[in-house]
Amino acid sequence: MKIVLINPINRSYVVMPSIGLGYLARQLLKDKNEVKILNCLKEEMTFDTFEAFVRGEHYDVYGFQMFSYDFSSVKKHLEIVKFLNPKAITILGGAHPSGDPYGVLKSLDKADFAFYGEAEIGIRKLIQNLTGSGKNKNLQAIPGLIWRNDDEVVVNPREFVNDLDSLDFPAWDLQKPEEYPRAPHGAFAKNFPTAPIIITRSCPFQCAFCAGKSISGRKLRKRSVDNAIEEIKYLHKNFNVKEIHIEDECFTIHKSLVLEFCDKLIKSKTVVTWGLPSGIRLDTIDRELLKTMEEAGCYSVAVGVEFGSQRILNLAKKSITLELIKEKVALLNETKIKTTGFFMLGFPGETKEEIQSTIDLSLQLDLDRAQFNNFMPLPGSELWAELEKKGMLSNVDFDKFFVHNVACVPDGMKESDMKWFQRKAYISFYLRPKIIIKLLKEITSIAHLKHLVVRFIDALK
């Protein structure tokens, strides 16, 4: 079959190869399918140019990676595909279908199938089913498949990949890192080309706002360190990759794994810098770990601080104290590792005073960068389920599910209040002389400067 896997048009600033689509492509290539990865952000596509793409080349299957903020965009993509190529099979996967498995096919009627959770096993079996003599006869046996049985939406049980080494590397030849612009996760990269990898899947913690469990479950699974090092060596040798971004949900949870990784990366003599832009838990780091990471080339991490109120930290089930946050950030300050703090504004039940305490904490901690996101009730999270039971999500607008929009407002506040707090947070943090000087030292080009200015202005809108 001729298959295209698509990262859709959206507002994201992150223009990097997709690890998820790369893994899916690798599985599909094993059956001699013809596979293309289309990153609409990289290609700077509009819906007009996407329509021209569909008109210009026939594909049997269109697969879309989908976050909640992609909802309207994916709907438009699907309409274009089905209008121009009605017989094409359309498949959805990623965070949104996994978080809302029973609703996604009801709300997107142009989608034929979707996947709940990891799709490497299921998508290969689905394509085999669609191309074989038993076409559509045994859909219930495909792990994680979301499908229609007449008017009923059926969600098959998930199957997790326990042996991550068995997946083989993502199809890097279909999304060569050197062909991507310098706009990585986190906005800053010390070296280029940059490539994302994952070494572990899942996170066992219970944060109420997180929907990670809807894709990867609670059981932490690990690649062998040797396998991860081989991928880094492969990327360095074949694509001249000079920087690695480890995108794990909780890479530092097993200290022994990180120490082994650092030791073997050093011994491999593969000269790459690396960072952890997706965030790590502060309660998983210590002085020895940070020192070893720095020696192995780590120069940047993001940390989930989230809130400046202990009451809200407890409500969010972060299982961390303000004292420990300050202690661990101080440990990071003993190194040369650049630290970004993730903060959340407008948690359900949060007061204006507590939001201000979050802004105050961001200024007290010696951070290099900070990101202030308005709270979003992510489908698949504990809070989504709670708010849904209370009838608070009946008119949810997924177009607002972006970091600089306001998707949910605490009781007693208005949307304008939340935008004011977010603007105040960014201005208070970044318009300090010491932060401006730090950032100016890290800017690599005029294009990079423009990228940062656009992001900052967008945050203030």
- Residue 75 belongs to domain with CATH number: 3.40.50.280
Whether 127 and 237 map to the same domain: the answer is: no
Q: Does a structural domain hold residue 163?
A: no
Whether 194 and 316 map to the same domain: the answer is: yes
Q: Does a structural domain hold residue 167?
A: no
Residue 182: count of CB within 10 angstroms of its CB: 17
Among residues 122, 155, 188, which one ends one of the domains?
155
Whether 22 and 129 map to the same domain: the answer is: yes
Per-residue pLDDT of the chain (461 residues; tens, 9 = 90+): 999 999 999 988 889 999 999 999 999 999 999 999 999 999 999 999 999 999 999 999 999 999 999 999 999 999 999 999 999 999 999 999 999 999 999 999 999 999 999 999 999 999 999 987 556 678 999 999 999 999 999 999 999 999 999 999 999 999 999 999 876 666 678 999 999 999 999 999 999 999 999 999 989 999 999 999 999 999 999 999 999 999 999 999 999 999 999 999 999 999 999 999 999 999 999 999 999 999 999 999 999 999 999 999 999 999 999 999 999 999 999 999 999 999 999 999 999 999 999 999 999 999 999 999 999 999 999 999 999 998 888 788 898 898 788 999 999 999 999 999 999 999 999 999 999 999 888 887 787 788 778 777 877 77
Whether 128 and 255 map to the same domain: the answer is: no
Whether 7 and 46 map to the same domain: the answer is: yes
Q: Does a structural domain hold residue 161?
A: no
What pLDDT is stored for residue 182 in this prediction?
78
Whether 97 and 133 map to the same domain: the answer is: yes
d(CA 359, CA 129): 53
**Could you tell me the CATH number of the domain that includes residue 428?**
3.80.30.20
- Domains identified in the chain, total number: 2
Whether 361 and 303 map to the same domain: the answer is: yes
Given its phi and psi angles, is residue 341 left (phi above 0), alpha (psi -120 to 50 degrees) or beta? beta
pTM across the whole model: 0.95
Residue 354: count of CB within 10 angstroms of its CB: 19
Place of tokens 């202030």: 372
Whether 324 and 398 map to the same domain: the answer is: yes
Q: Does a structural domain hold residue 334?
A: yes
Q: Does a structural domain hold residue 160?
A: no
d(CA 30, CA 360): 53
Whether 203 and 119 map to the same domain: the answer is: no
Q: Does a structural domain hold residue 169?
A: no
Q: Which domain holds residue 252?
A: 176-460
Whether 87 and 223 map to the same domain: the answer is: no
Whether 106 and 189 map to the same domain: the answer is: no
Instruction: Give the closest residue to 4 by CA, choosing from 28, 15, 189, 344.
Output: 28
Whether 232 and 365 map to the same domain: the answer is: yes
